């Protein structure tokens, strides 16, 4: 095809094009199939019987005057052929498909019929294919006949059914493929929407029909707007956080002038708490501006050092695991996460143990305590940001309730998972599972 077709750009245009195409194909195929009717043939003995019957019937009818011909035709009707006499050619015979092959078969047996303007057509009655036809008499009236039983076609059977089914199947296939192709960008859009919020944003390629391109364009712009909005808010909050540290520093220096040691200690505790809240908020928002790069660290020593640091400050924290285990992580983020878990455990249980357990394909860092644990129904909820289990009035914990959210996002950043579970026999087990490939193990 040298003609260059303009692909319709709109969704409606495309669906129309697909419909048009299928209709064209259907039309072409059924025309072909009709044409092929002329190629039908019958068994030789049937063609011969038909030929003989026609010759005899024509001869008998032609010998009788016209008035007696209908009656004779009735008599000539057998269980196999229905015969009628008609003064003119019945109209139905013009439209049915011709049967060239059968015509030739008949002619082969009775060449005399060649002068009789024999017409043969295929018609169907219910599920049966029947042959109808006519021959002219010398006085230009017509002998009309039809077979009363289904003709035995030589090539009747599964192949013909298949032939009839083929275009339908092809059409379903073609239109399915085309519609699928057309809606492919839609699927990419859905995937991008699912991805949004779980990592970096990625523009979806603006492809496909006009309407889809508009939707994708709008989605891309919305994505960028949301991203900018989040970035702006985060930046603003981070700036507020940083700025709050200056008045806090003033307050702390002023507090040093308080002579009453109890009041001084209380003010100092308040300032420490406020500073902890700002730090956790900034860590949660990623507002410290640090995009930590993954570094190769000795994970076992990292855990041991956290335990040692806590032990040095009089807390009952132990490390249990191998002496060395190297792994690539973001160490500051992971340390903050582990410190949050240790702080929680020490707060609620008074003690804890950090365990490093290499498991298949991963390494688990577990912070286990013998405390009261967490009610099963709250295990998921407690990982949400700003959720705290102790109600506001009896609150004695420091912070916003961001600790576990920070742990969860630290684990996520490493492609790992964070899980809380109550231990058998009491206590809580907080587990950070970090994937490791064979190379880093």
Partner 1 sequence: MYAGEPPLTLPTIVLVEDDPQLRTLTARALQENGYTVRPASSAPEMWLALEQGPVDLVLLDVMLPGTSGIDLCRAIRQKSSVPIIFISAKGSETDRVVGLELGADDYLPKPFGTRELVARVRAVLRRGAGERDTAERPKGEISFDGWTVNLPRRELLSPTGAVVDLTGAEFDLLVTLCDHSGRVISRERLIELSRTRLGDSSDRSIDVLVSRLRRKLSDAGHAAPIVTVRGIGYTLNVPVTRS
Q: Which residues bind partner 1 (CB under 8 A)?
A: 242-243, 245-246, 248-256, 268, 271, 275, 279, 282, 288-290, 292, 295-298, 301-302, 304-305, 308-309, 311-314, 323-324, 326, 331-332, 335
Smaller CB distance to partner 1: residue 4 or 313? 313
**Nearest distance, CB of residue 256 and partner 1, angstroms:** 4
Instruction: List b or e across 45-63, with b for residues whose CB sees 16 or more CB atoms inside 10 angstroms.
Output: ebbbebbebbbebbebbee
DSSP state of 98: B
Cα 300 to its chain centre, rounded Å, is: 43
Smaller CB distance to partner 1: residue 88 or 253? 253
Residues 387, 388, 394, 396, Cα dihedral to 10°: -120
**Nearest distance, CB of residue 281 and partner 1, angstroms:** 11
Smaller CB distance to partner 1: residue 96 or 280? 280
Integer distance in angstroms from the first to the last C-alpha of the chain?
60
Largest CA distance in the chain: 146
Beta carbons of 346 and 316 less than 8 angstroms apart: yes
Smaller CB distance to partner 1: residue 146 or 335? 335
| CA–CA distance, 22 with 175 (Å, rounded to integer) | 7
**Nearest distance, CB of residue 416 and partner 1, angstroms:** 18
Q: On the CB side of 221, how many CA atoms lie within 13 Å of its CA?
A: 6
Give the closest residue to 345 by CA, choosing from 310, 321, 320, 375: 310
Smaller CB distance to partner 1: residue 282 or 429? 282
| CA–CA distance, 273 with 328 (Å, rounded to integer) | 32
Beta carbons of 300 and 356 less than 8 angstroms apart: yes
**Nearest distance, CB of residue 430 and partner 1, angstroms:** 20
**Nearest distance, CB of residue 348 and partner 1, angstroms:** 23
**Nearest distance, CB of residue 242 and partner 1, angstroms:** 4
* DSSP one-letter string for 13-49: HHHHHHHHHHHHHHHHHHHHHHHHGGG--B-HHHHHH
Smaller CB distance to partner 1: residue 112 or 249? 249
**Nearest distance, CB of residue 201 and partner 1, angstroms:** 24
Smaller CB distance to partner 1: residue 86 or 255? 255
């Amino acid at each position: 095809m040298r003609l260059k077709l303009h692909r319709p750009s709109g969704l409606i245009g495309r669906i129309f094009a697909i419909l048009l195409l299928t209709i064209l194909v259907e039309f072409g195929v059924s025309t072909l199939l009709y044409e092929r009717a002329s190629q039908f043939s019958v068994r030789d003995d049937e063609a011969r019987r038909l030929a003989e019957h026609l010759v005899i019937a024509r001869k008998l009818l032609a010998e009788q005057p016209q008035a007696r011909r209908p009656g004779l035709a009735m008599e000539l009707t057998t269980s196999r052929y229905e015969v009628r006499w008609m003064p003119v050619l019945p109209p139905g015979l013009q439209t049915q498909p011709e049967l060239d092959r059968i015509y030739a078969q008949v002619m082969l047996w009775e060449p005399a019929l060649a002068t009789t303007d024999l017409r043969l057509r295929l018609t169907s009655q219910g599920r049966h294919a029947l042959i109808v036809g006519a021959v002219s008499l010398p006085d230009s009236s017509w002998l009309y006949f039809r077979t009363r039983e289904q003709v035995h076609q030589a090539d009747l059977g599964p192949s013909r059914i298949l032939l009839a089914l083929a275009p339908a199947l092809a059409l379903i296939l073609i239109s399915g493929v085309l519609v699928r192709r057309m809606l492919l960008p839609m699927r990419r859009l859905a995937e991008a929407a699912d991805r949004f919020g779980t990592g970096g944003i990625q523009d979806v390629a603006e492809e496909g029909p006009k309407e889809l391109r508009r939707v994708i364009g709008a989605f891309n712009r919305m994505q960028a707007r949301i991203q900018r909005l989040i970035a702006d808010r985060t930046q603003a909050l981070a700036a507020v956080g940083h700025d709050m540290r200056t008045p806090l520093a003033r307050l702390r220096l002023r507090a040093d002038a308080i002579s009453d040691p109890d009041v001084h200690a209380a003010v100092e505790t308040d300032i420490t708490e406020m500073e902890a809240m700002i730090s956790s908020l900034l860590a949660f928002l990623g507002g410290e501006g640090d995009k930590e790069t993954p570094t190769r660290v000795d994970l076992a020593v990292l855990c041991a050092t956290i335990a040692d640091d806590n032990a040095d400050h009089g807390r009952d924290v132990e490390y249990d695991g191998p002496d060395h285990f190297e792994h690539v992580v973001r160490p500051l983020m992971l340390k903050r996460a582990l410190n949050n878990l240790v702080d929680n455990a020490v707060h609620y249980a008074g003690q804890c143990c950090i365990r490093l357990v290499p498991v298949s394909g991963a390494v688990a860092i577990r912070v286990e305590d013998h405390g009261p644990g967490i009610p099963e129904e709250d295990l998921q909820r407690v990982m949400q940001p700003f959720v705290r289990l102790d109600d506001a009035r009896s609150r004695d914990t420091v912070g916003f309730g961001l600790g576990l959210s920070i742990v969860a996002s630290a684990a996520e950043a490493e492609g790992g998972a964070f899980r809380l579970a109550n231990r058998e026999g009491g206590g809580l087990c907080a587990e950070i599972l970090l994937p490791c490939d064979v190379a880093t193990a």
